[in-house]
Chains A and B, each alone.
Chain A
C-alpha cells in the first residue's frame, strides 16, 4: 500500500498578522513577561498563543513580542501569574483593530 507523505507546511504567523491593523502602544506594553520564565511552563504559551508571540530562541531563552497581540487572553489563562508580570488590555484606541471580526 502506498503511503502518502505530507509536506509539512510550517506556519509563518507573522505573515498572517501582517494582514491585521494594529495601533501599537510603544510606551505602554500591556503584557509583560517575567524576567526568568520557567522553561517547562513557557511551553504552554509557545503552544497556545494564536499569534505565536512567545518563541524559544536557539540559545534556550524565550523571546516575547507584544506587538501583534490579538488580546485573546489565552496566555493569561494558561499561565496566569506564574509567568506574566502584567496582563491588561491596551489603553483605549490602542491594540488590534478588527475590520472583519
Chain B
C-alpha cells in the first residue's frame, strides 16, 4: 500500500463521480478520481438531455460556463407507424428559473468540463487507468487495485457505470436482467446550425427535444429520440431487451429504419454521421436498487441503477448529480466522526430518501411494468394514426360521424384493453 491514504477514491469520471469529487475537493477532502478512458467523458454517452436543477444547486449559474448545446424550449412527442406519424408539439417561451431549465448536451465535452471543475477544486485525477479490484480487509473496503498498484482510502465511491463489474464483484449490485434493461443507440449527425434552426423553427441557443413511440423500437418497449445540438442532431433508438431474440429486426436495423422514416429523413438530409454510440439503460427503477452502502464503500449514479424511465423521458444524469453530491456529503460527515463503517455512511441513504430522487423513484415504481405492455408501443400509435388518417381523408364517399370514427379506431385494440390501460397508465404516472 502506498503512503497516502485518501479520504475517498472515486472510480469513474462520469457525472456522478465528477460531482462527488467536486463536492469533496471543495470541502478540502483528499480525493482522487480514477478513470479508464483517456479523458473524462471518453466512455460516456447520453441521448441527451440534462435537467439542470440538481447541478444548479451545486454550481449556481453553471449553464453560463459549461459546454451545453441548446436550451430546450420545444417538446414534441410523436406516435409513429411505418409510414405516418401523429405529433404533439409544445413550445414554451415563458421565462424559467435556472433550476427549471433543461439543456441538450454531449457527454464527451460536458464530462471533461465537469472533471476540470473538480480538478480546479483540488481533486486528484488519474485517467487512462482501469480499476481491476476493490480491496477488502475483514469485510471492509479499504482501497482499490489498478494497473498492479494499490491505493488506500477511507471510502471507495463506485461510479463505474451501468455495468458496475466492481459492484457485482462485491455482491452489492445484482447482475442486470434483460427484462429490466434497454439499449440505446445514437447517431451524432453533424448539420449546419442554420439548417437546424430552420428545420426545427429555433433561434440561436434554443433547442428541441422530440420523442417517438411505436415504429422506432419495432413495437417493443422503447422509442426513438431526436435532440438538437448546436451544430448536430442526436438521433437514436431505445429498445427494451426482453425477448429481443424474437424481434423481427436487429437493433442497428431499427436505427436505420428510423432514420429513413418519412418523418425523419427530410430533417436529417445533408447531415454527416460523426459518431455512433450505445449505452445500456437500467429500466426497473426502485425495483432494481443495489445495496447502496457497506463498510467503506458507496455506490452512485448508473452503477446504483439510478434511472427514471417515465415513458416520455428517461432521466439519469440529474439523478447522477444528486447521488454524487449525497455520497460526498456522507463522506464529509463520516470524516468528522472518523466512522467509515456502514453505519457511519448511512446518511447516504437518508439524503437520497429525503430528496426528490427516492420520492420520484417510488412515485413511478409501477411505470416499468405498465410500459412492458406491448399495446402501448404497438396498438396505440397505430390507433392514433388511423384516427388521423380517417379524420383528414376526404375521398368522396359519404362521411361517418366523428364518434363513429373514434369508436372504430378504438375497437381495433379492444375497448376493455383501452380502458384498462388508460386506468393503469394514469395510476402509474
Within 8 A of A (CB), among B242-257: 244-245, 247, 249-253, 255-257
Q: Given that A11-B255, A96-B43 are contacting pairs, would A101 and B111 also be in contact in the complex, using a CB cutoff of 8 Å? A: yes
With a cutoff of 8 Å between Cβ atoms, the chain A residues found around residue B37 in the complex are: 92-93, 95, 97
The 8 A CB mask of B25-48 against A (1 = contact, 0 = none) is: 000000000001110011111100
Asked if B178 and A78 make an inter-chain contact with CB atoms under 8 angstroms apart, the answer reads yes
Closest to B239 in A: A48
With a cutoff of 8 Å between Cβ atoms, the chain A residues found around residue B354 in the complex are: none
Asked if B3 lies at the interface with its beta carbon under 8 angstroms from chain A, I say no
CA distance A99 to B130 in the complex (A): 19
With a cutoff of 8 Å between Cβ atoms, the chain A residues found around residue B181 in the complex are: 77
Stretch in B86-94, B150-158, B272-280 with 4+ CB within 8 Å of A: B272-280
Asked if A6 lies at the interface with its beta carbon under 8 angstroms from chain B, I say yes
Within 8 A of B (CB), among A32-69: 40-41, 43-44, 46-52
Asked if B251 and A101 make an inter-chain contact with CB atoms under 8 angstroms apart, the answer reads no
Which of A91, A95, A98 contacts B277, CB < 8 Å? Answer: A98
Asked if B43 and A71 make an inter-chain contact with CB atoms under 8 angstroms apart, the answer reads yes
What count of chain B residues pass the 8 Å CB interface test?
Answer: 58
Asked if B304 lies at the interface with its beta carbon under 8 angstroms from chain A, I say no
With a cutoff of 8 Å between Cβ atoms, the chain B residues found around residue A44 in the complex are: 178, 244-245
Asked if B128 and A92 make an inter-chain contact with CB atoms under 8 angstroms apart, the answer reads yes
CB distance from B55 to the nearest CB of A (A): 17
Closest to B248 in A: A47
Within 8 A of A (CB), among B275-302: 275-280
The 8 A CB mask of B95-122 against A (1 = contact, 0 = none) is: 0000000000011111100000000000
Closest to B185 in A: A50
Asked if A70 lies at the interface with its beta carbon under 8 angstroms from chain B, I say yes
Residue numbers of A with Cβ under 8 A of B are 4, 6, 8-11, 13, 16-17, 19-20, 40-41, 43-44, 46-52, 70-74, 76-78, 80, 88-93, 95-101
Q: What are 17 A-to-B residue pairs whose CB atoms are below 8 Å? A: A16-B273, A16-B276, A20-B276, A51-B276, A70-B276, A73-B280, A74-B280, A77-B176, A88-B165, A89-B36, A89-B163, A90-B130, A93-B36, A93-B38, A97-B38, A98-B277, A100-B274
